[in-house]
């Protein structure tokens, strides 16, 4: 129905317009060609003047009204060290082009008005004027040279990479995929680990190569990512599937993310999120409620966040690739970074994707030592008898023998340390097996394995009077011996603090 | 009876459909162009509605768009984001190639080259007809792609891989992209057939006395445009061909280390940036393919209605040549932020900003042409005036964007959208309108209605600025282009008022163009008849042909050219046609400069 009415309206308007056309044609015929020209000249020359006045006023007024949108002014001030240079260039260019814009528009429409058709006017025969033409070739050329020199200066400074490795900077990585950003930090070693797209799995979305130890400590940031204020940061920008663009509007940072070819952008944040909010607070539009439905809720400036966006069309979700960036003081940054844990150790270690499965990584040794000593301390402080028994989870033997596997030494050394820390502590080491095979043989093997541990400890200077070895065979299973997983649980070595 | 019918039908077919007459082919290009302009504009209205009124119910579009309007639980119809991007992509492709290249250059090069240089037709009328029919088939293919169940191509008119190369990355990159490629390949063939013809015709078929320095600026513009097209369109075709290999044959020209939707693709060694180089090697000259014919038309129309020679004829020619040359060495200014070596960008900044110089010369020369004139306000001359205004407004922001440092922030924001729509969208349209109003009598033997023409002009001038000017502000504030919705970002979502304003203005401008279309078709059949051969008092040869010239243009001998094209208000004469011999003490201002 609505469609019908719209169609009818269009038809009606068309008929009216055609009639207007016909009427004007008829009056033109009656008036004669000259009269029509004179009319047209009068009307349109006046309209030219009206247009240019209204247009230039509208341009000026709207520019004033939206001055807060302008770069370098008000709330849209740059939050990065290089941003001000760019904003300044934008301003200079706008002033120069603005002058040209005003002068040429005034000339164009004023001449059209002034030299409107008149019956007795004769146009000048003015084919060219070399002097004038040289002027208006040379002057634009000079102005352009000025802008080019300034522009290239700024460009080459901004785009310069880290010059030397001893420069103080940090590197993070942003990877675009349909339709989200994956942000990776280098971890305590300060270096991002290697990647190979062929290693990508559901559990390893960046295709990190975990045989590269630089990857072992890299956290992948799941929520907001943080940067310390005043510290130069190099963003390594990559893409997994299609082109994306790493765009931080407030920092004047923009660079395409290209699959298979990392790009870089180096910048220094100079305003923390909190400082930027305080600046926004000065502007009335940022004192509006953040949520119009909740007029008493927080103001816009209070909820302000730096946002990472995508600025290269990447498919139907292009408009939704938002991540929040928080710029904070170095101390806050360090505190935040400490809460970010290694993606590898948290999510991948020991899983199918882990190429180091079954190996002890040197970075794990100190972590395990700490965990072990914490557990011993806890056991000593506890008064419950059950808490006094602790597993030697990382002590392993060669299959079917009591020979200690090489990697067992790390945990055993931790026990040595604990024995030295608590010189009065006496422990009983117990060996356990599952129920496969002959019970007597199991009993003997568990006994031998416990003895092997005790032997290792005595070789490292622990008095044998403080150590006992006992084999339980398959008599004390932790779980029913019905699955391989459970049997593995049952094959174990433990120690119990007998006295302390 | 039936034999007569058959004959008359076949005559109609050969006269109006399968014709070899350049004037009819010009009209075919024009009317096809108008159809595509209407389609492209209608698409822009739909996506502007989404941007201006994202909360509004679009359910009323379901009869046309069907499943692309998603109706939610509350019964509110929403535009599917996939289709939003398809509309944006189609709008760009259609307007750039089908309207402003084929519709503009195709129409006026065809109409004016033979008429203004004094030739009976193109060098090869058959290739010329093929040029139109390849364009027609390209259009049919593109049109059919709108009806695919996965939708037309939706990766932007630039069709950057990997998005355009991997069907898994986007619905539109499947069959939609295949049809886009077929259509574009046929379009390139059309552009090449046309271009080779224009060049050959201008070089070989000028009438006696028509030296290069006596050619009207329209011909210079069409001639140079054709050269640019012939040199650059093949590069696009090769770029697209490699894309075809990547899509269908497992090659990796543009693909490297992709994991799309969790699937590892066995493609290594290519570079998506290679495509961008090949694309923009056409893509940048393409904007001059669009704007140079408009410049030529505007120079001619301004001079005729100012009753004054075009100011600095030779400077105008040299600036066309300079722009054409520079257009080939600035392409990477579209790629400052694409990951190309920043050092390389230095050269592209320098060459890009040099273009401002010949462009400035042209603007000053147009203004000087009006200075001291006796300026007749016709629909044609008003649109020429509007062209100069648009070219200034849009050209100046090019100085911002061409400077790579500023482009870091401005790249792919609405500032860019404002810039190129004003300088090569609206300006080129204005050039085209000026040409249509000016040469309509030559095409159809009747005039378009001047009153409606003037309403069309003033409305469109004001309306177009209302649409595109506010986009500068949105762009400066950092809002990226090609966002289906701005609500996800606090930084971008506070421009509701401006976006609504733009959308309302766009609808207004759209209806004004319908007014033009009504005027156009009404005037073909019922416009005021042309009663004299040379209604505008112009000097050029096309106005020496009969009111309704047949195939061959001049019934008798082809006229001989005696002077340049711009002897207006010289001595006591208001104008001296090119066929009038030079007086005794007179010198030729084109050749005898």
Q: Which residue of A has its CA nearest to B346?
A: A152
What mean pLDDT, rounded, does chain A reach?
90
Q: Which residue of A has its CA nearest to B158?
A: A313
Q: Which residue of B has its CA nearest to A139?
A: B357
Shortest Cα distance, chain A CAs vs residue B440, angstroms: 16
In this prediction, residue A424 carries a pLDDT of: 87
A457-469 confidence digits (pLDDT tens)? 899 888 888 888 8
User: In terms of C-beta distances under 8 Å and separation of at least 24 residues, what long-range contacts does B250-254 make, across chains too?
Assistant: B254/B161, B254/B162, B254/B165
Q: How far is CA B208 from CA A2, A302, B137, B153, in A?
A: 62, 77, 38, 50
**Phi, psi at residue B515, to the nearest 5°?**
-60, -45
Say if B45 is an interface residue toward chain A (CB within 8 Å).
Answer: no
- Using DSSP's 3-state secondary structure scheme, residue B216 falls into coil
- What part of B 534-593 touches A (C-beta under 8 Å)? 566, 568-571, 589
Does the distance separating the beta carbons of B376 and A40 come in below 8 Å?
Answer: yes
In this prediction, residue A246 carries a pLDDT of: 97
Taking the CA atoms of residue B421, residue B424, residue B425 and residue B429 in that order, the dihedral angle to the nearest 10 degrees is: 150
Does the pLDDT value for residue A153 go beyond 90?
yes
In this prediction, residue A174 carries a pLDDT of: 97
Of A68-72, A281-285, A333-337, B470-474, least confident by mean pLDDT is A68-72
Instruction: Kindly give the pairing relationship between strand B528-529 and strand A492-499.
Output: unpaired
**Which residues, at least 6 apart from B290, have a Cβ–Cβ distance to it below 8 Å?**
B96, B100, B101, B104, B105, B424, B428
pLDDT band at A275 (very low <50, low <70, confident <90, very high): very high
Which two structure tokens, joined as six digits, stand for B408? 């870091």
Shortest Cα distance, chain B CAs vs residue A85, angstroms: 9
Does the distance separating the beta carbons of B406 and A151 come in below 8 Å?
Answer: yes
Shortest Cα distance, chain B CAs vs residue A311, angstroms: 6
Omega before residue A179 within 30° of 0, cis: yes
In this prediction, residue A488 carries a pLDDT of: 84
Q: What are the residues facing B259 on neighbouring strands?
A: B264
Does the distance separating the beta carbons of B272 and A258 come in below 8 Å?
Answer: yes
Mean pLDDT of A320-331: 96
Shortest Cα distance, chain A CAs vs residue B107, angstroms: 26
Q: Which residue of B has its CA nearest to A47?
A: B458
Q: Which residue of B has its CA nearest to A6?
A: B60
pLDDT band at A369 (very low <50, low <70, confident <90, very high): confident
In this prediction, residue A487 carries a pLDDT of: 86
Shortest Cα distance, chain A CAs vs residue B111, angstroms: 27
CA Rg, chain B, in Å?
A: 24
Q: Are B378 and B450 in contact (CB under 8 A)?
A: yes
For testing contact with chain B, the best of A42, A138, A155, A238 (most B CBs within 10 A): A155
Does the distance separating the beta carbons of A156 and B346 come in below 8 Å?
Answer: yes
Which two structure tokens, joined as six digits, stand for B154? 């939706």
Shortest Cα distance, chain B CAs vs residue A87, angstroms: 8
Domains of chain B: 20-544 (1.20.210.10)
Q: Please tell me which residue, B510 or A357, carries the higher pLDDT value.
A: B510
Which two structure tokens, joined as six digits, stand for B543? 């106005």
A380-414 confidence digits (pLDDT tens)? 888 888 888 888 888 888 888 888 888 888 888 88
Which two structure tokens, joined as six digits, stand for B460? 């469109």
List b or e across A277-294, with b for residues whose CB sees 16 or more CB atoms inside 10 angstroms. Answer: bebbeeeeebeeeeeeee
Angle between helices B217-248 and B175-204 (to 10 degrees): 150
Residue of B60, B85, B342 with shortest CB distance to A155:
B342
Does the distance separating the beta carbons of A152 and B346 come in below 8 Å?
Answer: yes
Which two structure tokens, joined as six digits, stand for A283? 């502007």
Mean pLDDT of A113-130: 90
Does domain A169-348 fall under CATH 2.60.40.420? My reply is yes
Does the distance separating the beta carbons of B449 and A315 come in below 8 Å?
Answer: no
Distance from C-alpha of A75 to C-alpha of A125, rounded to nearest angstrom: 54
Residue B373 with chain A: CB contacts under 8 Å: 111, 115, 123-124
Domain range list for chain A:
26-118+132-159, 169-348, 364-499
Residue A253 with chain B: CB contacts under 8 Å: 408
Say if B77 is an interface residue toward chain A (CB within 8 Å).
Answer: no
Does the pLDDT value for residue A199 go beyond 70?
yes
Say if B521 is an interface residue toward chain A (CB within 8 Å).
Answer: no
Residue B508 with chain A: CB contacts under 8 Å: none
Residue of B404, B470, B480 with shortest CB distance to A155:
B404
Shortest Cα distance, chain A CAs vs residue B505, angstroms: 15
In this prediction, residue A498 carries a pLDDT of: 86
Does the distance separating the beta carbons of A311 and B374 come in below 8 Å?
Answer: no
Residue B346 with chain A: CB contacts under 8 Å: 152, 155-156
Does the distance separating the beta carbons of B160 and A285 come in below 8 Å?
Answer: no
Does the distance separating the beta carbons of A260 and B256 come in below 8 Å?
Answer: yes
Does the pLDDT value for residue A59 go beyond 60?
yes
**Which residues, at least 6 apart from B87, have a Cβ–Cβ distance to it below 8 Å?**
B43, B44, B46, B47
Model ipTM? 0.94
What mean pLDDT, rounded, does chain B reach?
93
Which two structure tokens, joined as six digits, stand for B134? 């390849």
In this prediction, residue B231 carries a pLDDT of: 96
Q: Please tell me which residue, B291 or A373, carries the higher pLDDT value.
A: B291
Of A90-99, A162-171, A443-452, B413-422, least confident by mean pLDDT is A162-171
Which two structure tokens, joined as six digits, stand for B188? 């390139």
In this prediction, residue B593 carries a pLDDT of: 56
CA Rg, chain A, in Å?
A: 39
Residue A62 with chain B: CB contacts under 8 Å: 469-470, 473
In CATH, what is the architecture of A364-499? 2-Layer Sandwich (3.30)
Does the distance separating the beta carbons of B375 and A115 come in below 8 Å?
Answer: yes
Mean pLDDT of A166-176: 91
Shortest Cα distance, chain B CAs vs residue A334, angstroms: 27
- Using DSSP's 3-state secondary structure scheme, residue B224 falls into helix
Distance from C-alpha of B377 to C-alpha of B381, rounded to nearest angstrom: 6
Does the distance separating the beta carbons of A156 and B372 come in below 8 Å?
Answer: no
In this prediction, residue A434 carries a pLDDT of: 86
A220-247 confidence digits (pLDDT tens)? 998 999 999 999 999 999 999 999 999 9
**Phi, psi at residue A254, to the nearest 5°?**
-155, 125
Q: Are A411 and A393 in contact (CB under 8 A)?
A: yes
Question: No. of H helices and E strands in chain B?
Answer: 18, 6
- Give the count of beta carbons closer than 10 Å to the beta carbon of residue A500: 14
In this prediction, residue A353 carries a pLDDT of: 83
Residues of chain B with pLDDT under 70: 1-2, 592-593
Shortest Cα distance, chain B CAs vs residue A325, angstroms: 13
Shortest Cα distance, chain B CAs vs residue A212, angstroms: 19
Does the distance separating the beta carbons of A44 and B382 come in below 8 Å?
Answer: yes
Say if B478 is an interface residue toward chain A (CB within 8 Å).
Answer: yes
B298-337 confidence digits (pLDDT tens)? 999 999 999 999 999 999 999 999 999 999 999 999 999 9
In this prediction, residue B101 carries a pLDDT of: 96
Tokens 């119910």 — which residue?
B57
Does the distance separating the beta carbons of B388 and A70 come in below 8 Å?
Answer: no
For residue B77, the 8-state DSSP code is E
Closest by CA to B543, choosing from B218, B222, B279, is B218
Closest by CA to B457, choosing from B557, B559, B377, is B377
Q: Are B588 and B157 in contact (CB under 8 A)?
A: no
Express the helix, strand and coil content of chain A in percent, nearest 5 each.
Answer: 50, 20, 35
In this prediction, residue A482 carries a pLDDT of: 84
- SS3 readout for A250-298: HHCEEEEEEECECEEEEECECCCHHHHHHHHCCCHHHHCECCCCCCCCC
Does the pLDDT value for residue A1 go beyond 70?
no
Does the distance separating the beta carbons of A242 and B169 come in below 8 Å?
Answer: yes
- What part of B 173-192 touches A (C-beta under 8 Å)? none
Does the distance separating the beta carbons of A247 and B406 come in below 8 Å?
Answer: no
H-run or E-run covering A248:
strand A244-248
């Amino acid at each position: 129905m609505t469609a019908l009415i719209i169609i009818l309206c269009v038809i009606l308007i068309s008929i009216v317009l055609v009639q207007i056309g016909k009427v004007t044609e008829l009056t033109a015929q009656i008036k004669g060609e000259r009269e029509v020209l004179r009319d047209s000249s009068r009307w349109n020359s006046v309209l030219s003047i009206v247009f240019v006045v209204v247009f230039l006023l509208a341009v000026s007024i709207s520019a004033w009204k939206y001055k807060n949108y302008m770069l370098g002014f008000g709330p849209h001030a740059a939050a990065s060290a290089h941003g001000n240079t760019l904003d300044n260039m934008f301003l200079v260019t706008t002033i120069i082009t603005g002058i040209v814009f005003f002068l040429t528009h005034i000339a164009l429409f004023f001449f059209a008005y002034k030299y409107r058709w008149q019956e007795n006017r004769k146009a000048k025969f003015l084919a060219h004027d070399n002097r004038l033409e040289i002027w208006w070739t040379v002057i634009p050329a000079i102005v352009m040279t000025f802008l080019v020199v300034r522009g290239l200066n700024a460009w080459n400074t901004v785009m310069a990479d880290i010059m030397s490795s001893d420069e103080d900077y940090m590197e993070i990585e942003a990877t675009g995929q349909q339709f989200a950003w994956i942000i990776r930090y280098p971890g305590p070693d300060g270096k991002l680990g290697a990647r190979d797209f062929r290693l990508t799995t559901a559990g390893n979305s960046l295709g990190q190569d975990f045989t590269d130890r630089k990857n072992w400590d890299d956290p992948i940031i799941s929520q907001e990512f943080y940067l310390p204020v005043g510290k130069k940061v190099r963003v390594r920008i990559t893409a997994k599937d299609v082109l994306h663009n790493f765009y931080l509007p407030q920092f004047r940072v923009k660079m395409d993310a290209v699959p298979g070819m990392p790009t870089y952008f180096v910048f220094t944040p100079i305003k923390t999120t909190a400082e930027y909010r305080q600046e926004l607070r000065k502007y009335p539009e940022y004192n509006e409620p953040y949520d119009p439905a909740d007029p008493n809720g927080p103001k816009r400036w209070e909820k302000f966040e730096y946002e990472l966006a995508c600025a290269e069309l990447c498919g139907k979700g292009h408009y939704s690739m938002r991540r929040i960036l928080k710029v904070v003081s170095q101390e806050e940054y360090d505190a935040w970074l400490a809460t970010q844990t290694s993606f590898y150790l948290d999510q991948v270690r020991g899983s199918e994707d882990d190429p180091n499965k079954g190996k002890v990584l040197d970075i794990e040794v100190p972590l395990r030592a700490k965990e072990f000593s914490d557990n011993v301390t806890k056991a000593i402080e506890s008064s419950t008898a059950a808490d006094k028994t602790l597993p030697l989870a990382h002590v392993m033997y060669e299959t079917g023998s009591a020979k200690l596997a090489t990697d067992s030494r790390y945990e055993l050394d931790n026990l040595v340390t604990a024995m030295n820390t608590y010189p009065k502590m006496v422990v009983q080491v117990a060996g356990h097996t599952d129920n496969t095979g002959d019970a007597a043989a199991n009993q003997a093997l568990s006994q031998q394995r416990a003895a092997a541990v005790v032997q290792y400890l005595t070789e490292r200077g622990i008095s044998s009077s403080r150590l006992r070895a006992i084999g339980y065979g398959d008599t004390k299973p932790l779980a029913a011996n019905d699955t391989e997983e459970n049997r593995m649980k049952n094959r174990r070595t433990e120690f119990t603090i007998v006295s302390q | 009876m039936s034999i007569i019918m058959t004959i008359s039908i076949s005559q109609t077919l050969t006269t109006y459909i399968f014709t070899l007459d350049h004037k009819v082919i010009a009209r075919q290009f024009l009317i096809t162009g108008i159809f595509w302009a209407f389609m492209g504009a209608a698409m822009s209205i739909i996506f502007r509605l989404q941007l201006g009124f994202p909360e509004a119910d679009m359910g009323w579009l379901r009869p046309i768009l069907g499943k692309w309007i998603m109706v939610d639980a509350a019964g509110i119809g929403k535009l599917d984001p996939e289709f939003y991007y398809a509309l944006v992509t189609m709008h760009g492709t259609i307007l750039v190639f089908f309207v402003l290249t084929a519709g503009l250059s195709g129409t006026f090069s065809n109409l004016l080259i033979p008429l203004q240089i004094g030739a009976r037709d193109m060098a090869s009328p058959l290739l010329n007809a093929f040029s139109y029919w390849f364009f027609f088939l390209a259009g049919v293919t593109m049109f059919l792609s709108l009806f695919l169940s996965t939708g037309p191509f939706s990766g932007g008119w630039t069709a950057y891989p990997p998005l355009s190369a991997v069907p898994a990355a986007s619905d539109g990159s499947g069959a939609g992209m295949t049809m886009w490629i077929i259509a574009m390949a046929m379009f390139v063939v059309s552009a090449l057939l046309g271009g080779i013809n224009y060049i050959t015709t201008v070089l070989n078929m000028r009438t006696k006395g028509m030296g290069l320095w006596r050619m009207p600026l329209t011909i210079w513009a069409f001639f140079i445009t054709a050269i640019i097209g012939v040199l650059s369109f093949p590069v696009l075709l090769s770029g697209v061909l490699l894309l075809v290999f990547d899509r269908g044959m497992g090659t990796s020209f543009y693909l490297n280390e992709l994991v799309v939707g969790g699937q590892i693709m066995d493609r290594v060694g290519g570079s998506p940036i290679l495509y961008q180089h090949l694309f923009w090697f056409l893509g940048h000259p393409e904007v001059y393919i669009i704007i140079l014919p408009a410049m030529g038309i505007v120079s001619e129309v301004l001079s005729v209605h100012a009753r004054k020679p075009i100011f600095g004829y030779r400077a105008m020619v040299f600036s066309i040549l300079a722009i054409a040359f520079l257009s080939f060495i600035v392409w990477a200014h579209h790629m400052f932020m694409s990951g190309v070596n920043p050092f390389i960008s230095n050269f592209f900044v320098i060459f890009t900003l040099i273009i401002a110089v010949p462009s400035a010369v042209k603007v000053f020369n147009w203004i000087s042409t009006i200075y001291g004139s006796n300026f007749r306000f016709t629909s044609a001359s008003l649109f020429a005036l509007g062209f100069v205004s648009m070219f200034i407004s849009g050209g100046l922001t090019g100085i911002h964007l061409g400077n790579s440092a500023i482009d870091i922030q401005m790249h792919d924001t609405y500032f860019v959208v404002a810039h190129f729509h004003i300088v090569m969208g609206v300006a080129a349209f204005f050039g085209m309108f000026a040409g249509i109003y000016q040469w309509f009598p030559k095409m159809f033997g009747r005039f378009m209605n001047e009153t409606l023409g003037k309403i069309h002009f003033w409305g469109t001038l004001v309306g177009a600025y209302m649409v595109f000017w506010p986009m500068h502000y949105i762009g400066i504030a950092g809002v990226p282009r090609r966002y289906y919705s701005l609500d996800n970002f606090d930084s971008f979502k506070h421009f509701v008022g401006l976006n609504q304003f733009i959308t309302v203005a766009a609808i207004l401008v759209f209806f004004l163009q319908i007014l033009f279309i009504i005027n156009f078709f009404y005037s073909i059949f019922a416009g005021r008849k042309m009663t004299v051969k040379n209604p505008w008092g112009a000097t050029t040869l096309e106005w020496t042909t009969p009111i309704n010239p047949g195939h061959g243009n001049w019934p008798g001998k082809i006229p001989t050219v005696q002077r340049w094209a711009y002897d207006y208000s010289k001595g006591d004469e208001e104008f001296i046609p090119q066929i009038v011999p030079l007086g005794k003490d007179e010198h030729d201002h084109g050749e005898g400069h």
